[in-house]
């Protein structure tokens, strides 16, 4: 099953695998389009977070480059039948081919479609995983401990810290005030941080591994829209609160807290961010109870 804003009629809130009590969440933020995508194909699960091209091109079917990148990557993984690293390379290659088919100018990074992603594939006693960009995989253990399988890349810390310190006129937005800074960060794709965007260098940033299922209670995959807002961008995510909320009420409890914090700060200044509400894609897989 492949869930994007274009086939949400097949989505039943809270469930995406009838045989397993898996919780799914796919929700549009305050933008005009949801560029996050969910994937589940048998024992394969993934979340993808498309990033709008800085040229903001909209294609004939109404999709942005970010959404097309996320959908293309999800479909590449959905075909399954290969290692997650091989599927990562396929996803990245197919994004490039899709851009070429749409006559995208690949000479400048501002035009490139891009997406982060996090994927796991379950086996009887272990799971495989791969990750790129700011989609995260968090594992929870029965002993109360938890850890991320890969740290967030932090490419936006400098931009958001600048935004926090600026004195602004009423109505000014980050995309206009810090346009040059945002362009600088985007030019660092697959140099300073990784995303699937058709560049061969993306594969240098794919992190992957294999983990035992022994002792695990849950595996969470999520896009950065589910991360709790931070008043200080340079600080680490508050994973302790994130995990506590999940254990109390699942993904929806985290979502509700994120939205409450964002609603308190409509100008995006207390909790620096690029838009009032970000898109969210998340999957929670209970391994054992």
Ordered per-residue pLDDT tens for the chain, 289 residues: 555 544 433 333 333 443 458 999 999 998 889 999 999 998 999 999 999 899 989 987 889 999 999 999 999 999 878 999 999 999 999 999 999 999 999 999 999 999 999 999 999 999 999 999 999 999 999 999 999 999 999 999 999 999 888 877 777 788 888 999 999 999 999 999 999 999 999 999 999 999 999 999 999 999 999 999 999 999 999 999 999 999 999 999 999 999 999 999 998 989 999 999 999 999 999 997 5
Q: State the pLDDT at residue 235.
A: 94
- Nearest residue to 77 (alpha-carbon basis) of 51, 95, 64: 95
Q: Are 131 and 149 in contact (CB under 8 A)?
A: yes
CATH number at residue 216: 3.60.40.10
Helix H or strand E segment including 77? helix 65-78
Q: State the pLDDT at residue 13.
A: 33
Provide the domain count of the chain. 1
Q: Bridge partners of 141?
A: 216
State which residues form the domain around 49: 2-286
- At residue 255, what are phi and psi to the nearest 5 degrees? -55, -45
pTM reported for the whole predicted model? 0.92
């Amino acid at each position: 099953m492949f869930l994007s804003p274009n086939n949400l009629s097949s989505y039943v809130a809270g469930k995406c695998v009838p045989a397993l009590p898996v919780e799914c969440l796919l929700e549009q933020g305050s933008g005009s389009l949801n560029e996050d995508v969910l994937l589940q194909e048998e024992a394969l699960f993934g979340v993808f977070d498309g990033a709008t091209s800085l040229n903001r091109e909209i294609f004939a079917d109404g999709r942005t480059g970010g959404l097309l990148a996320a959908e293309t990557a999800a479909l590449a993984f959905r075909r399954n039948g290969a290692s997650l690293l091989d599927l990562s390379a396929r996803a990245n290659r197919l994004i490039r081919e899709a851009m070429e088919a749409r006559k995208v100018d690949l000479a400048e990074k501002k035009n490139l479609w891009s997406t982060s992603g996090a994927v796991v594939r379950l086996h009887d006693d272990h799971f495989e995983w791969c990750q790129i960009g700011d989609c995260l995989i968090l594992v929870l253990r029965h002993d109360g401990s938890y850890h991320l399988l890969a740290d967030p890349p932090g490419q936006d810390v400098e931009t958001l810290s600048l935004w926090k310190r600026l004195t602004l006129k009423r109505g000014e937005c980050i995309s206009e005030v810090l346009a040059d800074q945002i362009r600088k960060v985007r030019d660092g794709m697959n140099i300073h941080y990784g995303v699937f965007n058709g560049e061969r260098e993306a594969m240098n940033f794919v992190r992957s591994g294999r983990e035992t299922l022994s002792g695990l209670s849950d595996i969470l995959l999520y896009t950065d829209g589910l991360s709790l807002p931070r008043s200080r961008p340079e600080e680490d995510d508050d994973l302790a609160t994130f995990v506590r909320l999940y254990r109390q009420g699942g993904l929806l409890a985290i979502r509700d807290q994120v939205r409450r914090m964002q609603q308190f700060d409509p100008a995006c200044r207390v909790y620096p961010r690029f838009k009032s509400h970000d898109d969210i894609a998340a999957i929670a897989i209970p391994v054992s109870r």
